[in-house]
Structure 1
Amino acid sequence: MPKAAVWDEAEAKDIICRHDGREGSMLPILHDLQGVFGCIPPAAVRLVADALNLTRAEVHGVISFYHDFREQPAGRHVLKLCRAEACQSMDGERLARELLDRLGLEWGDTTPDGRLTVEATYCLGLCACAPSAMLDGEPVARLTPASLQDIVREAGR
């Protein structure tokens, strides 16, 4: 996972300006901001709202609606656990709950050491290999308690 840059208002303004005049530019702007800064901090919300002539509430509504956007930087590793029907039917919910409980986290939280963020996702297209996940963009299929333990151990290094 790439290291996030420190907040830089000038760079954020430059990112926003690259989308000037583009129809439907909010999502591409937000993706680019998060790609550079690792999250979309409150200062960026204000800049986006001003640039697009929207309220901060409208921009925040988009950020909070889409699961991939975050207001705080993620951990060094991001584990996305599938919560779609196929994974649920193969005990994915139980595996996820056990992992979250063991780590003392809820969905979207990061471990206190900043090494692992656990997020929900709704279908990775690996239904035939359920339950599945994605660790730092790499798919992981046929999860078991042992494989999840290995993932957490690996992320802790």
Structure 2
Amino acid sequence: MNVRVVAVDEATRIAAIIEDCRHLEGPMLPILHKVQAEFGYIPDGAKQIIAQALNLSRAEVHGVVTFYHDFKDHPAGRHTLKLCRAEACQSMGGDALAERVKAKLGLGWHETAADGSVTLEPVFCLGLCAQAPAAMLDGELYARLDEDCLNDIVAEVRA
């Protein structure tokens, strides 16, 4: 396994985040959320720093990072497009729309465009089941997706 060593500045920033959260009960998740907010993802080298500070193994930290879908192990694009993959959205044509989005963007799930414009993520329920199919672009919800809405979203992320 290739573990990237974090730069001194990154290590200092991570240490400050740990210090800010270590007093909390169950501090790992708050630490990971703040590290991701700071860097846009969880740098691989941060796992060892967090593990040492919390008296855990690197594998335990890695397990938490990989268990939760919102934690990223690489930088995301400028935009994040999440398409609902739950049953209600599937039953209303979400699978076909997802395939069209993937083709239009030239991306698979969890991939980021080469130009860094967008990351495509599956999500399993946005709570808009009665208005399926649904998506979320940079935190903004879209319901009753159709081909026109899809084209607008793709144009927005490519702009």
After superposition, residues 1-157 of structure 1 pair within 5 angstroms as 8-157=10-159
Offset, 1:112: 1.1
Q: CA deviation at 1:23?
A: 1.6
Report how far residue 92 of structure 1 moved.
0.7
What is the Cα-based RMSD across aligned positions, in Å?
A: 1.2
Residue in 2 that maps onto 1:3: none
| Whole-angstrom distance in 1 between the partners of 2:22 and 2:145 | 44
Q: TM-score, normalised by structure 1?
A: 0.91
SS in 2 for 1:79: strand
Partner of 2:121, secondary structure, is strand
Q: Do 2:105 and 2:154's aligned partners in 1 also have CA atoms closer than 8 Å?
A: no
User: What displacement does 1:8 show?
Assistant: 2.0
Determine the C-alpha separation between the residues in 2 that align with 1:97 and 1:63: 27
**d(CA) in 2 for partners of 1:88, 1:47:** 41
Runs of 4+ residues deviating >3 angstroms: none
SS of the aligned residue for 1:134 comes to strand
Q: TM-score normalized by structure 2?
A: 0.90
Any gaps of 5 or more consecutive residues in structure 1? 1-6
Read off the aligned partner of 2:109 and give its amino acid letter: W
2-side partners of 1:41 and 1:115: how far apart? 20
Cα displacement string for residues 17-40 of structure 1 (whole angstroms, at most 9, x for unaligned residues): 111132211111111110111000
* Percentage of identical aligned residues: 56
> Alpha-carbon deviations, 1:62-112, whole Å to 9, x = none?
111111000111100000111111111111122112211332211110111
SS in 2 for 1:57: helix
Instruction: For 1:60 and 1:130, locate their aligned partners in 2 and report how far apart those are by CA, in whole Å.
Output: 34
| Long gaps (5+) in structure 2 | 1-8
Partner AA of 1:8 in structure 2: E
